[in-house]
């Protein structure tokens, strides 16, 4: 870092359906964090349409970056580096952010840093932790092993994260074998005629139902058979596997058995007639059976995540738990994970709601250790839709 540097990184995020830009100082102080959401664009389809996502990113990226700089009160020459999400994510969406960041870094003469989106989610928690420590003048020394659950629309992963000098190392010790937990929230909400993305709708409606009404069970998941030398293969002796496609089918079965289809169709139509419908609008449109189904679904998913996460924490003797990603915004998840952490006498941390879902502040924060290590991207940087984080072996 040059003397007189203000240690500012501009982060850019475009891996899915949010265009984000943020300016973060020293990986720990957010000067601005701007997110342009595409929810209204994808809502009518009940899921992200990749082609539309790329187009929206193209439309939004320049205004979002400009507004992040102006909110932070900085200009391009003030920046020390530009960081961008390399993957995982949608190829076309990632490419918009990457192409923009490359061109910008080149034209303003700043180094470019490639960031893994999953590492970004973990750094959302670390960033706020350092920010709080700085505000309270606490000397903040990180040590020990954190077990990080990254739980979002595209991912359900467990990582052992450990600081090493200025950087972090990651070991992937768990993952879903099919759908991500957030994907299950989105699909169940869609099949019950609720809005998109489904997580916040289910979160808001679940407290109105009985979580014990429908006994969902999670079948035993067999370890995936991997080809020899497959870099994605987890250590079979210690791997944790999640599976969330079965519960979606179980919800669908319950809908058929109880002949709920007509009610769902009329709820969908009623919500479609409301401009910008919110979860509160859906409450009056849900009968007891629907609310019970929603509450039972949410409870089962959260309990499965909680049980397996705390079992892995014990297995690896983790010093604390971090939970991040869009599903970490869920209120019941926070309550149930927090009480389990108290029982297990383990510290636990979540990001604030704004940093739980996709944003660029977490990308700029994850880039800071890379900046210190001079770990800059090559000129051939391109989108890596299936990028993995960390090693998988012992």
Q: Give the binding site for ligand KG4 (CB under 6 A).
A: 16, 152-154, 182, 185-186, 197-200, 203, 325-327, 329-330, 357-358
How far CA 171 is from CA of 79, 103, 226, 391, in Å, comes to 31, 33, 18, 5
> Interface with Zn ion includes 358 (CB under 5 A)?
yes
Residue 203 interacting entry, from ligand KG4, Zn ion, none, C-beta within 5 to 8 Å by type: ligand KG4
State whether the Cα torsion 117-120-121-122 is positive or negative.
positive
Residue 200 interacting entry, from Zn ion, ligand KG4, none, C-beta within 5 to 8 Å by type: ligand KG4
Stretch that binds Zn ion, among 144-152, 219-227, 330-338, 380-388 (CB under 5 A): 144-152
> Interface with Zn ion includes 18 (CB under 5 A)?
no
> Interface with Zn ion includes 332 (CB under 5 A)?
no
Instruction: Return the DSSP state at 201.
Output: H
- Distance CA(394)–CA(385), nearest Å, equals 25
Reported as half-sphere exposure (CB side, CA atoms, 13 A), residue 160 has a value of 22
Rounded to a whole number of angstroms, the minimum distance from the CB of residue 34 to ligand KG4 is 15
The two most distant CA atoms of the chain are separated, in Å, by 69
Contact 372, 166 (CB under 8 A): yes
> Interface with Zn ion includes 60 (CB under 5 A)?
no
Residue 324 interacting entry, from ligand KG4, Zn ion, none, C-beta within 5 to 8 Å by type: none
> Interface with Zn ion includes 172 (CB under 5 A)?
no
Rounded to a whole number of angstroms, the minimum distance from the CB of residue 249 to ligand KG4 is 18
- Distance CA(171)–CA(386), nearest Å, equals 17
Task: Choose between 27 and 197: whose C-beta lies nearer to ligand KG4.
Answer: 197
How far CA 34 is from CA of 8, 20, 201, 268, in Å, comes to 16, 6, 23, 31
State whether the Cα torsion 24-29-34-37 is positive or negative.
positive
Token pair 């299950």 in the structure block, residue = 184
Task: Choose between 173 and 360: whose C-beta lies nearer to ligand KG4.
Answer: 360
CB atoms within 10 A of CB 211: 18
Residue 243 interacting entry, from Zn ion, ligand KG4, none, C-beta within 5 to 8 Å by type: none
Task: Choose between 27 and 199: whose C-beta lies nearer to ligand KG4.
Answer: 199
Stretch that binds Zn ion, among 1-9, 313-321, 338-346, 357-365 (CB under 5 A): 357-365
Rounded to a whole number of angstroms, the minimum distance from the CB of residue 15 to ligand KG4 is 7
Task: Choose between 201 and 371: whose C-beta lies nearer to ligand KG4.
Answer: 201
The beta strands (E) that lie in the chain are given as 8-13, 18-25, 29-37, 81-87, 112-116, 146-151, 156-164, 167-176, 240-242, 320-324, 348-349
Residue 11 interacting entry, from Zn ion, ligand KG4, none, C-beta within 5 to 8 Å by type: none
Residue 111 interacting entry, from Zn ion, ligand KG4, none, C-beta within 5 to 8 Å by type: none
| Binding positions for Zn ion, rule: CB under 5 A | 152, 358
């Amino acid at each position: 870092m040059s003397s007189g540097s203000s240690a500012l990184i501009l982060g850019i995020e475009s891996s899915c359906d949010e265009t984000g830009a943020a300016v973060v100082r020293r990986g720990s102080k957010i000067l601005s964090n701007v997110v342009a959401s595409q929810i209204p664009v994808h809502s009518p389809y009940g899921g992200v349409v990749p082609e539309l996502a790329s187009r929206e990113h193209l439309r939004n990226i320049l205004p979002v970056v400009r507004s992040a700089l102006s909110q932070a009160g900085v200009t391009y020459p003030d920046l020390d580096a530009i960081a961008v999400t390399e993957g995982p994510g949608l190829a076309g969406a990632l490419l918009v952010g990457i192409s923009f960041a490359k061109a910008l870094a080149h034209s303003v003469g700043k180094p470019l840093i490639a960031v893994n989106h999953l590492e970004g989610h973990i750094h959302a928690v670390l960033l706020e932790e350092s920010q709080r420590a700085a505000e309270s003048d606490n000397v903040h020394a990180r040590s020990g092993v954190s077990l990080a659950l990254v739980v979002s629309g595209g991912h359900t992963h467990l990582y052992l994260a450990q600081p090493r000098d200025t950087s972090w190392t990651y070991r992937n010790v768990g993952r879903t074998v099919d759908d991500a937990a957030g994907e299950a929230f989105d699909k169940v909400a869609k099949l019950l005629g609720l809005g998109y993305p489904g997580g916040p709708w289910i979160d808001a409606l679940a407290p109105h139902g009985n979580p014990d009404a429908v006994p969902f069970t999670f079948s035993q998941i067999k370890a995936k058979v991997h080809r020899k030398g497959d870099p994605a293969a987890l250590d079979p002796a210690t791997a944790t596997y999640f599976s969330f496609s079965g519960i979606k089918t179980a919800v669908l079965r319950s809908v058929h058995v109880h002949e709920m289809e007509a009610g769902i169709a009329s709820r969908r139509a009623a919500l479609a007639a409301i401009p910008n419908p919110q979860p509160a609008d859906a409450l009056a449109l849900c009968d007891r059976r629907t609310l019970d189904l929603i509450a039972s679904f949410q409870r089962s998913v959260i309990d499965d995540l909680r049980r397996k996460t705390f079992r892995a924490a014990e297995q690896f003797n983790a010093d604390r738990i971090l939970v991040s990603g869009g599903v970490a915004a869920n209120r019941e998840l926070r309550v149930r994970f927090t009480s389990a952490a108290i029982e297990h006498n383990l510290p636990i941390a979540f990001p604030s709601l704004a940093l739980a879902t996709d944003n660029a502040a977490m990308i700029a924060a994850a880039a800071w250790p890379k900046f210190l290590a001079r770990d800059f991207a090559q000129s051939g940087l391109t989108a890596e839709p299936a990028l993995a984080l960390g090693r998988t072996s012992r």
